[in-house]
Structure formats: C-alpha cells, structure tokens
Homo-oligomer: A and B are copies of this chain.
Amino acid sequence: MELFYSRDIEGGICRLDHDESGHCIKVLRHRCGDEISVIDGCGTMYRCRITSDSHKGVEAVVLESTPDWGAHPYVLHLAVCPTKNNDRYEWFAEKACEMGFDRLSPIIGDHSERRILKTARVEKILVSAAKQSLKAAVPAVDEPVSVKDFIQNHADSTALKMIAYCFEDESVPRRSIKDVLGAYDGTEIIVMIGPEGDFSHEEAEMALAAGFIPVHLGASRLRTETAALTAAASVYYQHM
C-alpha cells in the first residue's frame, strides 16, 4: 500500500510538501482525479483525490478520514542515549517504529561518548518506517537533553517508569521488565536506556528517587540499541 505524509491537512484540503509532491507526480505519475492515501503523522489516515498535480505542490481533497489507523494499545516513551555509531541508533528507531512506540527522547548521560544527535535524520527514518508498517502516527522525536534533566522533567509523571541499569558491582535488586510489565494494568510506559558505559551511579540514584523502577532485560548482555529494541519488543509482546 502506497502512503504519503503531510502535516498540512486542513478544511478538507491536503497539501503535499515538495519532496512528497515530486514522488507523487514525477515518480508515481499520479494525476488530477487519482486517489491517494495520506497519513498526518498524528494517527489519522486520509483517502484523498488529487485536484492539483503540480510536482512542486500537490493538492488533494479529503474523501474519507480514519483516526487511530494502525494504532497500538499503549503509549511508549523511549529515552535512549545515542550510540557511538549513528546507524545503530537509526535502525533501532526504525525497528521500534515498525513494532510501535510513541516518543523518542535522545538523552545524554555522564558516560555518553556521543553527545549530539541529528534529530531531523531520525524523524525522516521514522516517517518511512511508519509508512512501511502502515501506521498513521509517527513517533515524536525530542531534542537531546541530559539524563538528569530528563529524570527531573518526568519526576511527576504517573506513567510506569523504568530504568534499565546494570548496577554492576552494586547490590540494587532489579526485577525483569517482564515482571514489571506483567504487574502493570495501565498503558503509559517510559523506559530509559543508558549509553555504552551505562548510566552513572549518580544518574541511577536520581532515577530511583524520581520513581523509576530498576529493571533488567533478561540474562543477556545487550548493546545499547539492542537493549532499546528489546524494551520496545517487550512492551509490544506484553500487549499482543
């Protein structure tokens, strides 16, 4: 199924941006009168008929709209430290989007080697992944914040808050993410995943004080991006 993406759908009129218009008219050779399907990135899919087939700016009239198209039964917010290798972060984001999640916060920890992330690239990847997996909602991507700011900003959140922390050479008791998810009957979930060097002791203490539950993701030692995807897969599986 071929999907277009537009943030400009108003009053029954849908406009495609330059890139999407070029793809629609030049590549797929659509013309006035053709029907196309458009997602708004917020959860609604629109069936539209093209009324202006300029390859610079397609206009179409909305025939039908389907809210919650391809929606999942939970709200998952992943806060993940950027990986040294950008590709690994980008494929985690793509795969997590295919399964279903709602918001990505790149967080910078005391032990983070990579302290910047181009969110625009990740947003592009998430739009493609949402189209590919037939979802009308595209996960939001926040600008990077420090781990400590993220914890502070979510101290009052009533969501199920978890932090995947190794606590190597430490004795903080951890439950498995399966155990914690199984005991939760709400739908709002936040999971924090640390960098290659893990969270600092200070960050972990701060998270626990803010109500984050320390969890492990099973017996295997997982890379940052695999841990993040395992968290997404765990929530997806739990709600299957």
Contacts and interface: CB of A to CB of B under 8 A. Distances in A.
A219 B133 CA distance: 10
Contacts of A218: 99, 236-237, 240
Interface residues of A, number: 30
A220 B98 contact: yes
A221 B133 contact: yes
Q: Which of A72, A100, A230 gathers most chain B CB within 10 Å? A: A230
Contacts of A98: 220-223, 226
A237 B134 CA distance: 25
B237 A99 contact: no
A65 to B, nearest CB: 20
Given A100-B219, A133-B220, A218-B240, 11 more contacts: A72-B220, A91-B91, A132-B223, A133-B222, A178-B240, A217-B240, A218-B236, A229-B233, A230-B236, A233-B233, A234-B237
20 contacts: A95-B229, A98-B221, A99-B220, A100-B219, A132-B223, A133-B221, A133-B223, A134-B221, A135-B220, A176-B240, A177-B240, A178-B237, A217-B240, A218-B237, A218-B240, A229-B233, A230-B237, A233-B233, A233-B237, A237-B237
